[in-house]
Amino acid sequence: MTHSNWGRWGPDDEAGALNLLTAATVKRGVEQVTEGTVISLAQPCGPVAMTSPHRHSPARFMDRDAGDYAVGTRRTSNFKFAEDTVLMPTHSGTHLDALAHGWEGDRLYNNHPSADTRSIRGAARCGADKLRPIVTRGVLLDIVALSGSALAASTGVTDTDLERAYEMGGVQPRSGDAALVRTGWWERGLSTTDYHRDEPGLTLDAAEWLAERDVAVVGVDNYAVEVQPSEPGSMFPVHLCLLHRNGVPLLENLDLSILADTGRSEFLFMLAPLPLEGSTASPVAPIAVL
Amino acid sequence: MTHSNWGRWGPDDEAGALNLLTAATVKRGVEQVTEGTVISLAQPCGPVAMTSPHRHSPARFMDRDAGDYAVGTRRTSNFKFAEDTVLMPTHSGTHLDALAHGWEGDRLYNNHPSADTRSIRGAARCGADKLRPIVTRGVLLDIVALSGSALAASTGVTDTDLERAYEMGGVQPRSGDAALVRTGWWERGLSTTDYHRDEPGLTLDAAEWLAERDVAVVGVDNYAVEVQPSEPGSMFPVHLCLLHRNGVPLLENLDLSILADTGRSEFLFMLAPLPLEGSTASPVAPIAVL
Amino acid sequence: MTHSNWGRWGPDDEAGALNLLTAATVKRGVEQVTEGTVISLAQPCGPVAMTSPHRHSPARFMDRDAGDYAVGTRRTSNFKFAEDTVLMPTHSGTHLDALAHGWEGDRLYNNHPSADTRSIRGAARCGADKLRPIVTRGVLLDIVALSGSALAASTGVTDTDLERAYEMGGVQPRSGDAALVRTGWWERGLSTTDYHRDEPGLTLDAAEWLAERDVAVVGVDNYAVEVQPSEPGSMFPVHLCLLHRNGVPLLENLDLSILADTGRSEFLFMLAPLPLEGSTASPVAPIAVL
Amino acid sequence: MTHSNWGRWGPDDEAGALNLLTAATVKRGVEQVTEGTVISLAQPCGPVAMTSPHRHSPARFMDRDAGDYAVGTRRTSNFKFAEDTVLMPTHSGTHLDALAHGWEGDRLYNNHPSADTRSIRGAARCGADKLRPIVTRGVLLDIVALSGSALAASTGVTDTDLERAYEMGGVQPRSGDAALVRTGWWERGLSTTDYHRDEPGLTLDAAEWLAERDVAVVGVDNYAVEVQPSEPGSMFPVHLCLLHRNGVPLLENLDLSILADTGRSEFLFMLAPLPLEGSTASPVAPIAVL
């Protein structure tokens, strides 16, 4: 039988596994800090962000810049300024999927109606504005180290792999953990097109295993967390397991290379999604504090 | 003589006062955590974000939603998904100004040429992608508590006010602090138009005082950190002092009400700007951990 | 019984009353040209276009401009250029509604399924790309001249008014005409908010009368062609009559002041909608040739 | 000595060769109509428009669609509607370059300062809002017919070619003509990438020849009117000749295939640019009326 968190935090809950974040998990996270080092886990963002070819291209438009002054924009004092507007698919670059992002039938996580996701209001339920800041223990599950090399395209990361990675790190899974899985896919330096093809990633068994261990969030250094293509007859089963049945937000497009170089398996993990009203994801810049 | 950080961290530095964040300040920040409570300091984001009337209106566009399936979008499995694209001025809602945002003459902070801020590449120097994650001690300087009420429009918060607020909080200013100043402006629930008018905020003396104390970042619950209008003959002198001369990024449009309710003056402050390539600011969701 | 054009041009037709445009109507239009004068009927366009407050604000972003060269953008020759990107609701400013814009039940004009209008492909049926260029006789129905003044808010223009306006112009309605109705609403110089409120415009009887006369297109100098508010219990009945039942595209936000000043009632009318794939309208710049 | 129109229509002129459009040229255009046939010369528009890879991708966002009703959007009557917002580079698809698009030194056409083209106001001089509707005689200069096949990449169309094409069409060049040159480039059905490479097009001599003949507008079925690459040491010399020195707006990305099939060399040509405030071009849907 598959693990599910529907109803676990009441019928109105829209935060899912982020409910596993408690005072105790915050403190456990904070306890990991020994060196005072901060490491960004974010890929490049904005016009240079990796984006699936089926999505719009991110863009930045300068609304005022230095050139304007050079050709005569009037100033009333010595102050000058520049500003800009960005256009971006919320699923471009490093981002956290909101629970409204994937579902089956006509129900989102926790039986919320998918029908409340429409053009005008966006995701009125389980949108990015319903996510919460994450401050917890992060665990690096370094499958690259385990395997001796970056995973090949379409390689599944199984529950056994995760167990071994925990062991290798000398860490026990704990409720409320941020589980970060390194496949090495991002580090290959692929073109956008190749990157968005048959990525290595979690199998459904691995996802179930993580859900059963009550992780708060799962992040991977690939574009969709899960191995692609999906098993014949299924599509994004890991999304359905984690996002939909267990309310675990998915953190995609991580850069775990620098973190991996430190050799640390445990650390303080922090991520504060933009409360983008009605969006199905938020671009984020997660960090590890060692 | 005015305080300046130009040259302090070498001629190539684009991170400014964020250099004050060291292993020691990270640890000092982490030491503030006693309860394990996480508080968001962010105002609403996305299409509902407050935005200055001279800027573009933020928008969210649904690229796929539940309605599409309801009217027949083909699926090859039971998986359904929704996604969206956002358009937003980077200075809308809660955001961190990059050092490229304001300058005088033709030089940004640390003598970088303002000429490198153009239409095509955006801010090639001192853009949001040059900011760094902030993990440090936060100090709430609660001028509302000090004054007994939310400040009226155009009220200056002076260096003396800041000194008193530190005293009231029983805190000594330390290098690398995040100084968060509560004026109560946001809590008034003003219309967008009224909010973006004559706000209470820092005076130039207050800004100098903070720069001298080596704060890493200054945040206020108003739209421009500093009192508006500026003194006759000047425009945004606090921006010039903090951003331009001292490399202190400015954190605007905070919501400090919930934090203030806790009565805590010191806490772990965390903020991870999106490394938006070439942008002059990043929308952020800063947090306090108590 | 109400007039309907469903089925009139076959079950696959997506062009509606634009089928009334034939070689004969083109020639009749061309025959109106006596002076060789060209008059634009367009309101301002782009960032300055009038837009209903419920829609996104139009914007123009400079992708390259003179300032870029002034601050050092490299050139390989003496050639310099500027370019820009526009964002606009297709229903902002002067625009032609595509037949996919309005419907009732689950059927567009001519029994096409409304279900083919979705996030991803837009209006796959009856979109702006299915409109056609219009070259025909235009007739100015000058209700301002008829009434002696610009119409007050919420004033209905009735079938009787239209009859009288034809008479006053000494013109007989003909199949394939472009019927342009001047209410004077635009000429009042209202704020965007006031302009988009209770406008004068066509009553349902007037719309039926025009449909029966086989006009190819109806244009008015207001934002929705029809009088607002609609009769109690109905919403946009003129849209349903003209767009939906009769396939008559609606031309909104005209400026008819200069044309009216000429005293001419008949003229060559030309309008070439952008074939915007899947859009529900096209911004246009219609002209009268006298 | 090169032909120039600077000063010809006074120092304030921003319309350039469109001043050649007079009552007489309108009438001459109208006189070409014999059959009453209307032919669109536009390539696909909107998200499917051809766009140079260095520009942003056009997009259409549905702001309301049929799916919204299917999942429960509240209606107060039987009326339903759909609407959308478009994002597009003004130089995508079929478009008319405004005179502000290209220049050399710091002067636009007619000595207007290029410095007035900035981020905030866009092209304050010679923008798309200064263009005018074009109603005139169009002449098809069918180089494909002349050559016996579509031109190969980087093939120059010379003044001699144009002379022969006029001859072949049995037409004399006249002041105020719209000169449409068919190279066959668009008809090749190239990928966007290949289309935007080394196109066949006008040589500088051909451009001078057309300017001397006082054409009002020049249109070609390629992306930049002129042969690419430019002669060594020069960049877009035809743009400088026509747009900059002679104020002739350039009409790019035409589809001349259907028109060519008719065998007609003369016709009524009509094009009404959107008066996009401050833009450097306008998407258009030009037509030929036979």
Residue A122: per-residue pLDDT: 98
Residue D8: per-residue pLDDT: 98
The mean pLDDT of chain D is 97
Q: Is the ipTM of this structure higher than 0.95?
A: yes
A261 interfaces chain D, CB cutoff of 8 Å: no
CA dist A234 and A230 (Å) reads 6
* Interface probe, candidates A68, A81, A87, chain C, greatest C C-beta count within 10 A: A68
DSSP state, residue B205:
H
Q: Above 60 in pLDDT, residue B106?
A: yes
Of B45, B62, B230, the CB nearest to A122: B62
Which of the residue ranges A160-174, A193-207, C84-98, D63-77 would you say has the lowest mean pLDDT?
D63-77
pLDDT over 70, % of chain A: 100
Question: How does pLDDT run across B111-134, given as a tens digit for each residue?
Answer: 999 999 999 999 999 999 999 999
A76 interfaces chain B, CB cutoff of 8 Å: yes
Across the interface, whether the CB atoms of D118 and C47 are under 8 A apart is answered no
Q: Which residues of D touch A119 (CB under 8 A)?
A: 62-65, 67-68
Task: Average the pLDDT over C135-164 and give the result.
Answer: 98
Q: Above 70 in pLDDT, residue D2?
A: yes
Radius of gyration (C-alpha) of chain C in whole angstroms: 20
DSSP state, residue A254:
B
For the entire predicted model, the pTM comes to 0.97
**Do B281 and B97 contact (CB within 8 A), yes or no?**
yes
For residue B75, CA distances in Å to A204, A233, C270 come to: 20, 11, 43
Question: How does pLDDT run across A88-147, given as a tens digit for each residue?
Answer: 999 999 999 999 999 999 999 999 999 999 999 999 999 999 999 999 999 999 999 999
Q: Above 70 in pLDDT, residue B67?
A: yes
C115 interfaces chain B, CB cutoff of 8 Å: yes
B59 interfaces chain A, CB cutoff of 8 Å: no
With bands split at pLDDT 50, 70 and 90, how would you rate the model's confidence at C171? very high
> B161 CA to chain A: closest CA distance, Å?
26
Across the interface, whether the CB atoms of C62 and B87 are under 8 A apart is answered no
With bands split at pLDDT 50, 70 and 90, how would you rate the model's confidence at A1? low
Place of tokens 């694209």: B85
Q: Above 60 in pLDDT, residue D1?
A: no
* Residue numbers of C between 118 and 137 with CB closer than 8 Å to A: 119
- For A83, the closest chain C residue by CA position comes to C61
Q: Which residues of C touch A119 (CB under 8 A)?
A: 119
With bands split at pLDDT 50, 70 and 90, how would you rate the model's confidence at B233? confident
Of B61, B66, B71, the CB nearest to D85: B61
The token pair at B276 is 């938006």
Residue C67: per-residue pLDDT: 96
Of C59, C68, C119, the CB nearest to B64: C119
With bands split at pLDDT 50, 70 and 90, how would you rate the model's confidence at C75? confident
Residue D95: per-residue pLDDT: 98
With bands split at pLDDT 50, 70 and 90, how would you rate the model's confidence at B2? confident
Residue B221: per-residue pLDDT: 98
Q: Above 90 in pLDDT, residue C2?
A: no
Of B71, B85, B119, the CB nearest to D67: B71
Task: Average the pLDDT over B162-188 and give the result.
Answer: 97
Question: How does pLDDT run across C82-104, given as a tens digit for each residue?
Answer: 999 999 999 999 999 999 999 99
Higher pLDDT, C233 or A279: A279
Terminal C-alpha separation, chain C:
38
**Do A29 and A268 contact (CB within 8 A), yes or no?**
yes
The token pair at D39 is 């032919």
Of C64, C116, C117, the CB nearest to B120: C64
Under CATH, which number does the domain C16-53+90-289 receive? 3.50.30.50
Counting runs of H as helices and runs of E as strands, what totals does chain B give? 8, 17
Residue C89: per-residue pLDDT: 98
Of A63, A73, A115, the CB nearest to D71: A115
Q: Which residues of A touch B30 (CB under 8 A)?
A: 30, 33, 36, 268, 289
Domain ranges within chain C, ordered by starting residue = 16-53+90-289
Question: How does pLDDT run across C237-271, given as a tens digit for each residue?
Answer: 999 999 999 999 999 999 999 999 999 999 999 99
Residue C15: per-residue pLDDT: 98
Q: Which residues of B touch A133 (CB under 8 A)?
A: 38, 40, 285, 287
Q: Going edge to edge, which strands form the sheet with C287-289?
A: C38-40, C287-289, C266-271, C134-142, C178-182, C217-220, C250-252, C95-97, C281-283
Question: How does pLDDT run across D212-264, given as a tens digit for each residue?
Answer: 999 999 999 999 999 999 999 899 999 999 999 999 999 999 999 999 999 99
Q: Where are the alpha helices (DSSP H) in chain A?
A: 23-31, 66-70, 143-147, 159-169, 192-195, 204-212, 237-239, 257-262
Question: How does pLDDT run across D128-171, given as a tens digit for each residue?
Answer: 999 999 999 999 999 999 999 999 999 999 999 999 999 999 99
A59 interfaces chain B, CB cutoff of 8 Å: no
Residue B129: per-residue pLDDT: 98
* Residue numbers of A between 1 and 40 with CB closer than 8 Å to C: none
